Amino acid sequence: MDEEYDVIVLGTGLKECILSGLLSVDGLKVLHMDRNDYYGGESSSLNLTQLWKRFRGSDTPQENLGASREYNVDMIPKFIMANGLLVQTLIHTDVTKYLNFKAVDGSFVYKKGKIYKVPATDVEALKSPLMGLFEKRRARKFFIYVQDYDEKDPKSHEGLDLSKVTAREIISKYGLEDDTIDFIGHALALHNDDDYLDQPAIDFVKRIKLYAESLARFQGGSPYIYPLYGLGELPQAFARLSAVYGGTYMLNKPECKVEFDGSGKAIGVTSAGETAKCKKVVCDPSYLSDKVKKVGKVTRAVCIMSHPIPDTNDAHSVQIILPQKQLGRKSDMYLFCCSYAHNVAPKGKYIAFVSAEAETDNPEEELKPGIELLGSIDEIFYHSYETYVPTNNQEEDNCFISATYDATTHFESTVVDVLDMYTKITGKTLDLSVDLSAASAAAEN
Amino acid sequence: MPSRRRTLLKVIILGDSGVGKTSLMNQYVNKKFSNQYKATIGADFLTKEVQFEDRLFTLQIWDTAGQERFQSLGVAFYRGADCCVLVYDVNSMKSFENLNNWREEFLIQASPSDPENFPFVLIGNKVDVDGGNSRVVSEKKAKAWCASKGNIPYFETSAKEGTNVEEAFQCIAKNALKSGEEEELYLPDTIDVGTSNQQRSTGCEC
């Protein structure tokens, strides 16, 4: 421990592990520690015994649920956009070689008590029972506009400057009904609330394009992919990248106290009486709790079931968005389900999650509309956590703190935070279009 | 469910830092040895094609990437291993004594479905050092340990001189194949994310 490092990373959550990997690849000397004896921190996947320990205060789950080790229950369930930033990061770093992915079977949206497949293209819009005859045609025209929209080609803009026009204005140009706006904004553009309506439409249009491009990528029934054995594999894969490039790993390190000099700059980390020196500290909010502030709370139900979610064509893996308006809420609720097909449960078992930004102090009542869609449930756990964002100035203290994982259904905001932190730490912008393994192979030749 | 025939065999190498895990891999796959020891940096996994009867397999040999130094290998490293190679240094009693820990750690983390019969192979490395004069673990002692753990095959090697390395890995490959066949012949249909943007052609381009 008595060495000096460029960066000490605390916590092995996904964000910290991606950063650790990227920084080691850059040639920085990285020490990565975690107070737990396992990888993943808040973004780990638990087996049955760990789940019982955390939520039931015992370590003996009943036997009829199957082998503990066959469960990988995500603590931060999210799907991966097939054409999104996380996939670009995985390819850029070649970390895909450590992982196996399968497509997610279905993407659905909730409307007036029923669930429908999400239409994402002009062709699907025409077939969708979500809309009436005339609305289908209007929606089709809107989808064609979005598909053809190319930022670099003014001809495709139809005279609209999307950096000035709001999403609301674009939608009204196509005369779309409120229910249509609801599913486009929430189930396709994946906005968690309605704030986007009064913002420039460019982000809205890009998000719909991302959805459609992701859907086309692997020809699955959804735009999402998900790793075998659960999301806990992701931080471990990036940690291995870091280790392969020289990063030092120490799990099970108690305390991990950041040390500061007289001017308030981080200079090292102490654990069990030993101090490792460093120039910069990267960590999750739990390691520097006096430099973060609470911004919200995520509430979640974790359910073990013996059947797929009803009315999803028996999909083994599925996402269902319940737009806020449909439930009279301020933000969306979403369902996420995976099964033994993704090796997260023993044969015949399904893991379903109901998640939302907490708006009350009663998760059971609040999540009811989502839980009611699940049918019979073998076991249910409720789980809430507070979300934090950093309040420090990293130029003054050399501390780079990630934000807590938000309630969004996928990883785009996670990777945006990582890329932003990477730029703050290194002063460089990461070009994800470069394939690192190809680049290093070329350098060797 | 559409599946493909399994042709990839995963082998992991475990043992204390400095016993020669990376060197053994390198000697077997690249026929190279470097005398300069540095704690493993840049070692990931190496692959080698092996043929059995009329079938070709890819042996994927995973290095610990140095994460064993502070007992920080995650469960993902162990997942899906078809054979586990345990390595110790015949000149270091401690590295021999730790074999029990490594074996147990593997069985806990990898949780193979039939732990009694999971194939381990033991390698006693560095037999070349000092003409054998600094050796502290006898062959007899190592073989007795192997016998007590269900007759683990045992090889004494020198990664430096290439002694017995080929033989050891042939045994490893054979055992990995046997366990791989019993375990699951077919893999679920996963998608290939590793290729960059797949531009789809939307039909006729004339």
* pLDDT score recorded for residue A63: 83
For residues A288 and A404, membership in a common domain is answered with yes
* pLDDT score recorded for residue B185: 46
The answer on pLDDT for B130 being more than 60 is yes
Percent of chain A clearing pLDDT 70 (strictly above):
97
> For A45, which residue in chain B has the nearest alpha carbon?
B75
Indicate whether A225 belongs to any domain: no
For residues A194 and A318, membership in a common domain is answered with no
Indicate whether A156 belongs to any domain: yes
User: What's the token pair of residue A160?
Assistant: 């609209």
* Mean pLDDT, residues A361-380 taken together: 95
Please give the ipTM for the structure prediction. 0.88
Closest partner residue to B76 (CB to CB) among A97, A236, A250 is: A236
pTM over 0.90: yes
**Which residues, 6+ apart, have CB-to-CB distance to A5 below 8 Å?**
A29, A30, A31, A248, A276, A277, A278, A279
- Residue appearing with tokens 């005279």: A159
Shortest distance between the Cα of B80 and any Cα of chain A, in A, equals 11
Indicate whether A113 belongs to any domain: no
Indicate whether A227 belongs to any domain: no
Q: Which of A213-227, A375-389, A430-444 has the lowest mean pLDDT?
A: A430-444
The string of pLDDT tens digits covering residues A283-315 is 999 999 999 999 999 999 999 999 999 999 999
**A380 — contact with chain B (CB < 8 Å)?**
no
**B7-187 CATH fold:** Rossmann fold (3.40.50)
* Distance of alpha carbon A72 from alpha carbon A125, whole angstroms: 36
- Which residues of chain B make contact with A240, given a CB cutoff of 8 A? 44, 65, 67, 74, 76-77
For residues A301 and A380, membership in a common domain is answered with yes
For residues A70 and A94, membership in a common domain is answered with yes
For residues A98 and A136, membership in a common domain is answered with no
User: What's the token pair of residue A102?
Assistant: 């399968």
The answer on pLDDT for A61 being more than 70 is yes
* pLDDT score recorded for residue A221: 85
Number of domain units in chain A: 3
* Average pLDDT of every residue of chain A: 93
The string of pLDDT tens digits covering residues A109-132 is 999 999 999 987 788 888 889 999
Range of the domain at A262: 4-42+232-292+390-444
Q: What's A8's domain CATH number?
A: 3.50.50.60
- Which residues of chain B make contact with A228, given a CB cutoff of 8 A? 188, 190
The string of pLDDT tens digits covering residues B12-34 is 999 999 999 999 999 999 888 87
The answer on pLDDT for B195 being more than 70 is no
User: What's the token pair of residue B153?
Assistant: 């095959």
Instruction: Tell me which residues of chain B have a C-beta less than 8 Å from any C-beta of chain A.
Output: 41-44, 65-67, 69-72, 74-77, 79, 111, 188-191, 193-198, 200
* Mean pLDDT, residues A255-284 taken together: 96
Indicate whether A348 belongs to any domain: yes
Indicate whether A197 belongs to any domain: yes
Q: Which DSSP letter does residue A191 get?
A: -
| Cα separations in angstroms, B48 against A112, A429, B78 | 57, 37, 19
For residues A135 and A158, membership in a common domain is answered with yes
Shortest distance between the Cα of A38 and any Cα of chain B, in A, equals 7
> For B188, which residue in chain A has the nearest alpha carbon?
A341
For residues A287 and A146, membership in a common domain is answered with no
Residue A157, Cα to own-chain centre: how many angstroms? 31
